[in-house]
Structure 1
Amino acid sequence: MNQIAVIGLGVMGKAIAQNMMNHGFRVAGYNRTYAVTETMQGKENFIGYKELKDAIESLEKPRKIFMMVPAGPVVDAMIDQLEPFVEAGDIVMDAGNSYFEDDARRGKRLEKLGVHYLAVGVSGGEMGALHGPSIMPSGSKEAYDQVAFILETIAAQKDGEPCCTYIGPEGSGHYVKMVHNGIEYADMQLIVEAYIAMKAAGMSNQSISDVLESWNQGPLESYLLSITIKILREKDPDTQKDLVDLIVDASSNKGTGKWTSQCALVQDINVSLIHGAYMARLTSNDEELRHRFPKVQSHIELDTEQLRQAYFLARVVAYEQGFRLYSDASKRYGWDLNLSKIASIFRAGCIIQANLLEYIRDTFGRLGPDASLFDDFEEMAIAHLPALKTIVTTGLLHDISMPLFTAALTYIIPMQQVALGANLIQAQRDFFGAHTFKRVDKEGVFHHHWE
């Protein structure tokens, strides 16, 4: 009998199935297009099936079903197809990038059949899925305990610990993955802005990669910096030009950054860097608007050590904003998220894996879920703030697009101000809408007749 079925054998599904097979798990494979399944036939520990019914019936009980299909209607359609073949006690896992609010509906639907539903966040891309991703399972703890031996085995390992932990109730795993992707958007855009600044200083791609390589150690070491270094050094096999220079200047997205921004608005949490990163991608695709403005060629003098300090501080702000979302969601939705463990499973396997997460894990481990990263990084923030100001003002004065470095600065500066002018806003609101205000010199809520 097979131990687990992998439904959906696209890039990620195929890689995760191979990961399971490499660890000795017997995998039943099914893909809507059988030709895809056939490419894996004959591999050790794998049997592919043309019919979904046959794949499910080949499993030992309770049956474990791992769906790796596109988020949205495809997930619901797959559950429709599974319903006739599953029975009480079976476990269905959705490991795609589903929106967390959809999980409760799907869980209740399967619960009527006595079937467990686990919402499983998976990060790491194709190589992570193959060699060990970060895995964020949520839903029934009883069900997780029955699949933990598989998920924790195939997950990335860091210091002898699996980068997989039970996150919490239904939906929390996909939420954690969603915010992970929001942080990912922000860090990618920050690296891009550093790249643009160095380009404006006349540096070649090779020189920029050398600078990034010098940064990629200690607290700044990260997967995203590592791949950026390789990208900048890659040559196009046909032209021998730098491949990155031949790629169209427009970036796409699959929606998780957008969802993170939307959730932040619902939760009233400032995620200006995550939101700005999503907006930057939209702007890159707005060809009509971009063509309306005359182009400028910027030339600047640049201190790459100042740029490194500015990047370090801005990256901490991005992580701070993401983990503030986690802290709020934990209370808002009753999930009781362990932020230290979340940081721990992000240390390897996932796209945002970085040495910074060691510090973040320690911060939340010592200070609890209501901690701020600036509890530990305040001195660094104060020391690096002049560099961030210099980089932002240089960019503004020379027409260099640096929305996230700017957002990081405008996130920190208000924290240093004695007053932000919000008293005037509240007076305006009271003037036109009788929205009331509080006073600094007496208790209570007041309304003034302004005219």
Structure 2
Amino acid sequence: MNQQTYDFGLIGLGVMGRNFILNVADNGFKAFGFDLDAEKVDALKKEGGGLEKVNASTDQETFLRALQLPRKIMLLVPAGKIVDQVIENLLPHLDKGDLIIDGGNSLFTDTDRREAYLREKGIHFFGAGVSGGAKGARKGPSIMPGGSRDAYKEVKPIFEAVSAKYKGEPCVAYLGPKSAGNYVKMVHNGIEYGLMQLTSEIYDLLGKAGEMSNHEMHQAFDQWNKGRLQSFLVEITADILAQDDEHGDGELIDKILDKAKQKGTGKWTSQNAMDLGIPVPSIDIAVSMREISALKNDRVKADEVYDRPKPILIEKKKLTKMAEEALYFSFIITYAQGLHQLSEASKEYEYNLNLGTIAKIWRAGCIIRAGLLADITKAYQAKPNLPNLLLDPSFSKEIKGTISSVRTLVAYGAENGIPLPGLSNSLTYFDAYTSGRLPLNLIQAQRDYFGSHTYERTDKSGTFHTEWEG
């Protein structure tokens, strides 16, 4: 084999890996791939446009010998034990100063463990979240790296070249030490769960409350994507609703089974938010709804047992206007929850995250890219320590202009038997967060009554206990 040195190595030549390494090669960097599957190796060689640009092998020794020192090796393999296995296989053959990058959706605590383990052996390691799907990997993803700042400098030119661009700016930035990159990607995916759930609820509402056809809903989402709801998820929803069924009559959306799967990152976001004591109900319910959707057989049986109200129809133009306002409101609320979690995690895990930078690199390339991220970026650049997006003047103005439609539609859903959990959870979060006084004083009294847990008073400082009479 030609002993030419390559700038960048990648292990795992599945769809994401193949597209990412081709992206690297397209941007002027020589790249070498490794996979045990000979068909994947051959496919990459054929598509690469010349072995001097991109090459691959099923032999690990050949792969490692081809890389320029210090080696820069990215892993795009399934999260979990496989990542550890790949690392153990590489270790005996690496030199001090080499860099391993985990580009998968690894749990952030695993990244911390691996980083500490490899640091002792003189090997750099960091996690880099990659968002944008297969097309993003090929044409420009949003990349969220965290770990050793010095190690990141080694791949910074490559990552900036291959990332998505927003008005010429690369959608990648060093985010912080340890597992900062994987953590930010985890919350990104939690927000993604929330936005997808909300979009599905609005689709359901338009169909049931307005008896709108798929074509009419396609037109609504397509129009919204040209305004303040401009986003990847709204854009692809419009496309999906217009897709004909190539295997039958009508549109494909009507033939797809209503059971949504998940890979765990949304669940991790909710679990960790609970650990931190941060409320993210729009994300929590999105995870729960995927779990409820899996109970298809039970749901069908229950549907036969219970009567459901026949929805009172809403005039289509009026419904479309309210639905746009409700979706925009709940998108803002979901981003606000995710960014609040990032803010608190930054303190807890000493990431020193810059929320303005995070919003900035999400503006293009990633699944949750949206026009309003430009406004979110401005909000955090103007006030880096903003506790919550709801306290930003420009967003409070948007909320005030949409809240009436949200209340109307949530009430309508309850009265007409249309589940709108994402929308109602977003509204409940807003109402609770903006309430100067909540009824939790009663809960504190109850806790003190049965468990002597004490309470604080509004008129005196300190903690108190009462011997409540039975």
User: Is 1:49 the equivalent of 2:53?
Assistant: no
Q: Distance in 1 between matches of 2:435 and 2:179?
A: 38
Query: CA offsets, 1:36-92, max 9 Å, x none?
Result: 111122432111112112101111111110110000001001101111111101010
Amino acid at match of 1:258: K
Deviates more, 1:412-421 or 1:29-38: 412-421
Amino acid at match of 2:380: F
SS in 2 for 1:76: helix
Alignment of 1:29-178 (within 5 A): 29-42=33-46, 43=48, 44=50, 45-178=53-186
Q: Distance in 2 between matches of 1:102 and 1:62?
A: 24
Query: CA offsets, 1:214-256, max 9 Å, x none?
Result: 2113321001111111110011222242011111111101100
User: Is 1:28 the equivalent of 2:32?
Assistant: yes
SS in 1 for 2:350: coil
Determine the structure 1 residue equivalent to 2:332. 316
Contact 1:338–1:369, Cα closer than 8 Å, also in 2: no
Contact 1:364–1:371, Cα closer than 8 Å, also in 2: no
Deviates more, 1:410-419 or 1:179-188: 410-419
Q: Distance in 1 between matches of 2:92 and 2:405?
A: 61
1:6 to 5, 10, 20: 10
Q: Distance in 2 between matches of 1:335 and 1:370?
A: 17
User: Is 1:306 the equivalent of 2:310?
Assistant: no
Determine the structure 2 residue equivalent to 1:392. 410
User: Is 1:17 the equivalent of 2:17?
Assistant: no
Amino acid at match of 2:269: T
Deviation at residue 418 of structure 1 after TM alignment: 4.6
Deviation at residue 299 of structure 1 after TM alignment: 5.0
Deviates more, 1:42-51 or 1:156-165: 42-51
Determine the structure 1 residue equivalent to 2:273. 264
Q: Distance in 1 between matches of 2:227 and 2:347?
A: 33
Determine the structure 2 residue equivalent to 1:227. 236
Q: Distance in 2 between matches of 1:218 and 1:306?
A: 15
Q: Distance in 1 between matches of 2:434 and 2:358?
A: 30
Amino acid at match of 2:442: L
Contact 1:91–1:115, Cα closer than 8 Å, also in 2: yes
Q: Distance in 1 between matches of 2:351 and 2:194?
A: 25
User: Is 1:441 the equivalent of 2:454?
Assistant: no
Amino acid at match of 1:227: I
Deviation at residue 414 of structure 1 after TM alignment: 2.2
Q: Distance in 1 between matches of 2:145 and 2:398?
A: 34
Ranges in structure 1 where 5+ consecutive residues have no aligned partner: none
Q: Distance in 1 between matches of 2:173 and 2:460?
A: 49
Query: CA offsets, 1:324-383, max 9 Å, x none?
Result: 011001111111101001000000000000011001000000011334212131122122
Q: Distance in 2 between matches of 1:185 and 1:10?
A: 24
C-alpha change, 1:416 and 1:21, in structure 2 (3 Å) is closer
Deviates more, 1:274-283 or 1:409-418: 409-418
Q: Return the TM-score normalized by structure 1.
A: 0.98
Q: Distance in 2 between matches of 1:91 and 1:49?
A: 20
Amino acid at match of 2:72: K
Deviation at residue 33 of structure 1 after TM alignment: 1.6
Deviates more, 1:96-105 or 1:106-115: 106-115
C-alpha change, 1:207 and 1:437, in structure 2 (3 Å) is same
User: Is 1:380 the equivalent of 2:398?
Assistant: yes
Determine the structure 2 residue equivalent to 1:217. 226
Deviation at residue 308 of structure 1 after TM alignment: 1.0
Over the matched positions of the two proteins, sequence identity in percent amounts to 39
Contact 1:327–1:370, Cα closer than 8 Å, also in 2: no
Ranges in structure 2 where 5+ consecutive residues have no aligned partner: none
Deviation at residue 416 of structure 1 after TM alignment: 4.3
C-alpha change, 1:418 and 1:91, in structure 2 (3 Å) is closer
Deviates more, 1:147-156 or 1:382-391: 382-391
Amino acid at match of 1:224: L
Q: Return the TM-score normalized by structure 2.
A: 0.94
How many residue pairs match? The answer is 451
Contact 1:363–1:371, Cα closer than 8 Å, also in 2: no
C-alpha change, 1:299 and 1:250, in structure 2 (3 Å) is farther
2:347 to 331, 334, 337: 331
Contact 1:29–1:55, Cα closer than 8 Å, also in 2: yes
SS in 1 for 2:228: helix
Deviates more, 1:322-331 or 1:286-295: 286-295
Q: Distance in 2 between matches of 1:241 and 1:383?
A: 37
Determine the structure 2 residue equivalent to 1:283. 292
Contact 1:87–1:113, Cα closer than 8 Å, also in 2: no
Determine the structure 1 residue equivalent to 2:427. 409
SS in 2 for 1:369: coil
2:250 to 236, 241, 266: 241
Q: Distance in 2 between matches of 1:31 and 1:298?
A: 54
Deviates more, 1:59-68 or 1:34-43: 34-43
Contact 1:20–1:154, Cα closer than 8 Å, also in 2: yes
Contact 1:95–1:120, Cα closer than 8 Å, also in 2: yes
Deviation at residue 304 of structure 1 after TM alignment: 1.2
Deviation at residue 310 of structure 1 after TM alignment: 1.1
